Amino acid sequence: MFRKFVAATLIMLAGTAVAEPSLEQVMRLEQKALARLPADRLDALLNRPQAAGGISYSDEWLASLPAAKGNSEWRCLAEALYFEARGETVKGQFAVAEVIMNRVDSATYPDTVCGVVHQGTGRKYGCQFTYTCDGLPEVINEPRAFDQVAKVAKLMVNGAPRVLTEGATHYHTTAVNPRWARKFPRTARIGVHLFYRHPQEMVQN
């Protein structure tokens, strides 16, 4: 998965029109993608400070990637990031995305991104993500902000490493103090969000 993600990132940077390459394609495409990069882009990729797996949590690095698009899972994640974290830093947006992807991998939650994001939607006080049940129309009226979170979503569904939140499955802003937060181990604070891991997940792992 890690190597597949790196190859996909290189392909995005090089402009190759291949989405989510198969493992069989990776070995051929990695070298071709690197060879097609302009010298300055290759130097930036190899030498820019990176957090993990080729990712630099910076506006500049994210802006250097081409516009993202994908399937329904990508769309669900991109929309969740837009409504939940568009005002956060790039690092904060990746952190919120980690929570959603961690839930997808957990036996406790639905096994798709869309299932996780919309779990409980329509039940009073039952939704997992506030924007899905706050009664407000879900209208994307900041296209530049959406373009950014769409890139974060694409990288995450492609298998980007999750190194920011230590397996967190929950988060809340510093403006609130939910009752469950007193029982869940906190794993990180990034921007205005605090991150936690469900105790059941601690036992499972």
pLDDT in tens, 112-136: 999 999 887 666 556 777 777 766 6
Q: Where are the domains of the chain?
A: 2-47, 72-204
Highest mean pLDDT among 9-18, 43-52, 68-77, 193-202: 68-77
Model confidence pLDDT, tens digit, residues 167-199: 999 999 889 888 889 999 999 999 899 999 988
CA 47 from centroid of its chain's CA atoms: 23
pLDDT for the residue numbered 58: 92
- Whether the predicted pLDDT of 94 surpasses 90: yes
- Whether the predicted pLDDT of 104 surpasses 50: yes
Q: Residue 170 pairs with which residues in a beta bridge?
A: 196
pLDDT for the residue numbered 178: 87
Q: What is the mean pLDDT of residues 60-84?
A: 94
pLDDT tier at 90 (50, 70, 90 boundaries)? very high
The CA distance from 181 to 136, in Å, is 26
CA quadruple 88, 71, 65, 29: dihedral sign: positive
The CA distance from 166 to 87, in Å, is 22
